[in-house]
Amino acid sequence: MPTVGVVVLTQGTRPHDLARGIRSLLAQEGVHLDVVCVGNGWQPIDLPSHVRTLGLPTNLGIPAGRNRGVSQVSGEFLFFLDDDASIPDPFFLREAIDKLRADPSIGLLQPRVVDPTGLASPRRWIPRIRKGEATESGAVFSVWEGAVLLPRAVFDATGGWAEPFFYAHEGIELAWRVWDQGLRAWYAGDLEANHPFMHPTRHSEYYRLNARNRVWLARRNLPAVLVPVYVGSWTLIQIVRWSRDRAALRAWFGGWREGWRSDPGERRVLSARTVWRMSVAGRPPLV
């Protein structure tokens, strides 16, 4: 039976969603789970007895919170679930692991994301430039981070989630570092996770962190010659995208400047072979 270490991340602000997500985990069949609920600035309470808890005294950010949970669980695989997500199929984890075992070239799997109330899912949940149908599976170069499965050995080799990011774009770096191991990140359109539709701009610092982390992503991972190309292309995209929202652009460029002036943390450059493989697969790390 596959063993899975599960990290559920929460700030304690959505108790009903958290309870639903944990119920969906404990209903999984055909796997052995080791579950920890990490409270980012909160001590989790009133959870099932076989769900361990880790309360962090302050909110360390989403990537760091997930990383702290990894040290608390064991298992051949790791599964990360946000507190507002759930998995409706009790055989989800077993089927996802079967996919990883059947194709050793897959190092990370993200399922299709569906709003449980029936609202149309935003296109951004499909991590492809050419979105296509949500049910279409394929290799990807970023992931929606709310429900992610990967072998623990692969996760360890990536160096973990990008802690300095706090929020935004950590799923891009994780996917890139999976590719750098000679593996692929995979979008499984035939597997489903549930998550309510929410606008990313609900986060007060969305624009600043979006820009800062985009610069940091390049500075941490790309060969020097590609750093200005990648950042420049995204700068043009954002200018076009938010040309009529001056306040958003001001906040975005504030984060852009911060990204160049501040320390992004550890630099681990993608190999030339990885850049080539990503390019051949349809997504050179230029945009």
Contact 2, 76 (CB under 8 A): yes
Which residues in the chain come in under a pLDDT of 70?
Answer: 199-204
3 state DSSP class of 25:
helix
pLDDT of residue 239: 93
Domain extent listing, the chain: 3-198, 205-270
Which token pair is 253?
A: 């460029």
Distance CA 83, CA 11 (A): 8
Residue 213 CB-density burial (10 A; 0-12 exposed, 13-18 middle, 19+ buried): buried
Which among 145, 247, 177, 259 is positioned nearest to 210, based on CA atoms? 259
Residue 86 phi/psi, 5° resolution?
-155, 165
Residue 76 phi/psi, 5° resolution?
-70, -30
Q: What's the pTM value of the predicted model, to 2 decimals?
A: 0.95
Q: What is the mean pLDDT of the chain?
A: 95
In CATH terms, the superfamily for domain 3-198 is: Spore Coat Polysaccharide Biosynthesis Protein SpsA; Chain A (3.90.550.10)
pLDDT of residue 220: 98
DSSP 285: T
- 222-234 burial: b if 16+ Cβ within 10 Å, else e: beeebbebbbeeb
Chain mean position to CA 226: 23
CA separation, residue 36 to residues 5, 9, 75 (Å) = 8, 9, 12
- 140: enclosing H helix or E strand: strand 138-140
3 state DSSP class of 250:
helix
